[in-house]
Amino acid sequence: MATITVDKSLTNDLVRDLSASGSATVPVIAPFTGKKLYELPTSSARDVADAAAAARVAQLAWFAAGPDHRRKVLLDGHDRFLADRERLLDLLQTETGKTRGPAFEEFFQGASATRYAALAAKRVIRTRGRRAGIPLVMRTRVSYKPKGLVGIITPWNYPLSLSLMDVIPALATGNGVVQKVDNQTVLSVLAARRAFIDAGVPASLWAVVAGDGNEIGNAVVDAGDYVCFTGSTATGIKVGQRALGRVAGASLELGGKNPMIVLDDANVAKAASASVYGCFSSMGQLCVSMERIYVQRAIADQFTEAFVANVKNLVQGSALDYTTDVGSLTSAAQLERVKTHVDDAVKKGATVLAGGKARSDLGPYFYEPTVLTNVTSDMLCFTHETFGPVVAIQVVANEDEAIAAANASEFGLNASVFSGSVSRARRVADQIVAGSVNINEGYRSSFGSIDAPMGGMKHSGLGRRNGPEGLLRFVESRTVAEATGLLTLPGSGVAAGKLAGTMELALKALKALRRR
């Protein structure tokens, strides 16, 4: 078993940046070893309120400094973030139990999201003229103002990328941020934040709090003019309701039960290789990873054999380098959830084609990547998100059956289609009810496309991150329209009656000119 830990002076240095004034602490456990990593100071609701007040003051100057200043500082932060790569990857692995490859994927994603938001914000939120109700008589412009203070709540599974994908667009559009980080992954987020503070983001503009999910989460929701939540559907619904109670908007990035369709013209070897990463990256503890595979009968045996062989070849371990393919689950609760799903499926008649066992010889929360078949609707893993290294293969007769099975879920976050024909795959993709669909890939094509929106349909979420959509959620639009004086608008019933015929003619003319 590895003896992975974090240097005490680094821990002390980083946790000083938390907004936590009291003496309360909670232990943080290292997933690779099950041993205590350090004692995390926790915030109180008062700390959240104080941090929010300070961030509101800092936000005024940050917004007033203008978009060019914000871009310069955030791009400098990007460079400092890149320069800290190895330390960030070590922290990420140590706090989450993931392997180096997915840790780097997070790092890459975080940097890309930063670059995009820093460079695109000015253009996306610039003031623009819009078509006036009556041309020449009115002149109309729309400008965008930051919401003010954004409350951001992030989970433990992808702490680096999911933080930066929300925080940096919020800052780039001129907002302040109070972020509630999951207790498990505070160090990774604080280390990433440090790069931006050193680059010139005022420390009080981006406050980080930690502590009890309910108490501190509620305080963050109550503090923000807008709320970004990433986590489970059950918590997301509560967060959305609470925010709406204050007429504050919210983007909710929630759970999934993501389907992969393997069509009969797919290149079996390529599909069986790419889909393994799509299912087991970060031990399946990723909102967009695959938990259901629907394979067409003609290639089902061939695909299943190749897929299972690849899964059995995965190297599992806790090395802080690139020598392993799959690591550990992040917590005892995660291990319990995975065991419960697999044991329930096996008890009710599922067949285990690979995995199915904990690996306590490697570490306390290790579990083998697991492939099931003969999964039926009475099993927990059929409809519920496992959020672990468990995938079920089902054989389907044709494309229509595959699409119907893929859509038969309360979730609609991500999906994947493997086919030898891009046009066929696109046709199938168009019929999937999900916020993203990847062709000949599990999730990385859409997850990495930071100019395109990411989010969920159905119970998988509300709103979108990334792309222009991900920036526009952080601003309020304001319409300013002028009367040009070319025509005096009617002020009385008699005057309106005199103009009615002319105005109707104007309506017909505007339609004839195809003017919106």
Alpha helices in 359-513 (DSSP H): 380-383, 399-407, 422-429, 444-447, 467-472, 493-512
Cβ at position 331, least distance to ligand NAD in Å: 9
| Three-class SS state of 40 | strand
Alpha helices in 281-331 (DSSP H): 297-312
> Does 162 help bind ligand NAD (rule: CB under 6 A)?
yes
Give residue 322's identity as a one-letter amino acid code: Y
Give residue 451's identity as a one-letter amino acid code: D
Residue bearing tokens 């505070």: 186
> Does 180 help bind ligand NAD (rule: CB under 6 A)?
yes
Judge whether 287 counts as a catalytic residue.
yes
> Does 135 help bind ligand NAD (rule: CB under 6 A)?
no
> Does 155 help bind ligand NAD (rule: CB under 6 A)?
yes
Site for ligand NAD, residues 245 to 274, rule: CB under 6 A: 253-256
- Distance from C-alpha of 225 to C-alpha of 313, rounded to nearest angstrom: 49
Count of chain residues binding ligand NAD (CB under 6 A):
29
Cβ at position 279, least distance to ligand NAD in Å: 14
Of 95, 105, 106, 253, which one is the catalytic site residue? 253
- Distance from C-alpha of 501 to C-alpha of 488, rounded to nearest angstrom: 16
Cβ at position 183, least distance to ligand NAD in Å: 7
Q: For ligand NAD, which residue of 102, 240, 278, 461 counts as binding (CB under 6 A)?
A: 461
Burial (0-12, 13-18, 19+ Cβ within 10 Å), 513: exposed
> Does 98 help bind ligand NAD (rule: CB under 6 A)?
no
Site for ligand NAD, residues 379 to 438, rule: CB under 6 A: 385, 387, 413
Cβ closest to ligand NAD, residue 29 vs residue 287: 287
- Distance from C-alpha of 171 to C-alpha of 470, rounded to nearest angstrom: 12
Q: What is the DSSP string of 188-257?
A: HHHHHHHHHHHHT--GGGEEEE-S-HHHHHHHHHHH-SEEEEES-HHHHHHHHHHHHHTT-EEEEE----
Burial (0-12, 13-18, 19+ Cβ within 10 Å), 66: exposed
Cβ at position 356, least distance to ligand NAD in Å: 22
Judge whether 253 counts as a catalytic residue.
yes
Q: For ligand NAD, which residue of 11, 179, 235, 331 counts as binding (CB under 6 A)?
A: 235
Which stretch, 49-57, 210-218, 440-448, 496-504, contacts ligand NAD (CB under 6 A)?
210-218
Cβ at position 493, least distance to ligand NAD in Å: 54
Site for ligand NAD, residues 279 to 298, rule: CB under 6 A: 287
- The residues, ordered by sequence, that sit 6+ positions from 245 with a Cβ below 8 Å of its Cβ are none
Cβ closest to ligand NAD, residue 240 vs residue 364: 240
> Does 88 help bind ligand NAD (rule: CB under 6 A)?
no
Q: For ligand NAD, which residue of 4, 111, 120, 153 counts as binding (CB under 6 A)?
A: 153
Contacts to ligand NAD by CB under 6 A:
153-158, 162, 180, 182, 213-214, 217-218, 230-232, 235, 238-239, 253-256, 287, 385, 387, 413, 456, 461
